[in-house]
Amino acid sequence: MNAYVTRFSRRQRLEHVSVMTLFILLSVTGLPQKFYTSGWAEAIILGLGGIDRVRWIHRVAGVLFTLLTVVHMTVSIGLVVLGRSALSLVPTRQDFVDAITQLRYYLGVSEVQAKFDKFDYKQKFEYWGLVLGAVIVISTGLILLFPIETTWFLPGEVIPAAKLAHGNEGLMAFLVVIIWHIYNAHLNPDVFPFDTSIFTGKIALDRLRHEHSLEFDRLKETE
């Protein structure tokens, strides 16, 4: 029987489930508003009880997503400052080297594969893409939620610009999750048909050795 090690804490798993749930709610209620002239969008809006209810759900989910983001960043920074967490998700020069190494391997130019620590360059890209995307949708969402108050400090042209940026960033985030994240997390041949580690918090030792050899080596040294 294969041995397992803890990869994600209870807090991290709870955050992931929360983000996943809120992302689904925001997508289901946000995209129909962006493409309101389409038949599928109208069907979803009517199915959810009308545009007023859709907007209410979207705004509540947006506020909860904002609070979750603030809590996540505050706790993450606090743990690093207290020395209880490493900067394992911060991109370094090695990540660019690893990306080139892997690209050469995939193209058949080299037989050498990159060795990864706790998170590889793709996972770091996803994480910081989410963080930067969250900054955009949260800031523009607050402007759209309080348009009159916003014009007390900023010109009125900011409102339509925020609406455009909010909708486009939301659409891009949806496409990235559908095309990029779901493939890497579930359809990737190495983890197909489903990677349960983010839900159980556990990862098989053999898989850790294969996908995150540097982390595996470090864990072996501490035994």
Digit-coded pLDDT (tens) for 111-155: 888 999 989 999 999 999 999 999 999 999 999 999 999 999 999
> What number of residues does the chain have?
223
Q: Does residue 34 carry a pLDDT above 90? A: yes
The pLDDT of residue 106 is 87
At 63, the amino acid letter reads: V
How far apart CA 11 and CA 84 sit, in angstroms, is 14
> What burial class does residue 95 get, using C-beta atoms within 10 Å of its C-beta: 0-12 exposed, 13-18 middle, 19+ buried?
buried
Name the phi and psi angles at 67, rounded to 5: -60, -40
Q: How confident is the model at residue 2 (pLDDT cuts 50, 70, 90)?
A: low
Q: Does residue 55 carry a pLDDT above 90? A: yes
Q: Does residue 29 carry a pLDDT above 60? A: yes
Q: What is the mean pLDDT of residues 45-52?
A: 95
Write out the two tokens for 177. 């999750």
The shares of helix, strand and coil residues in the chain, as percent rounded to the nearest 5, are: 70, 5, 25
The pLDDT of residue 219 is 81
Q: How confident is the model at residue 220 (pLDDT cuts 50, 70, 90)?
A: confident
Q: What is the mean pLDDT of residues 167-193?
A: 86
How far apart CA 70 and CA 79 sit, in angstroms, is 14
Mean pLDDT of the residues in the chain: 91
Share of the chain above pLDDT 70, in %: 99
The pLDDT of residue 53 is 96
Contact between 111 and 105 under an 8 Å Cβ cutoff? The reply is yes
Residue 181 CB contacts under 8 Å (≥ 6 apart), including other chains:
126
Question: Which CATH number applies to 4-222?
Answer: 1.20.950.20
How far apart CA 55 and CA 63 sit, in angstroms, is 12
How far apart CA 178 and CA 134 sit, in angstroms, is 17
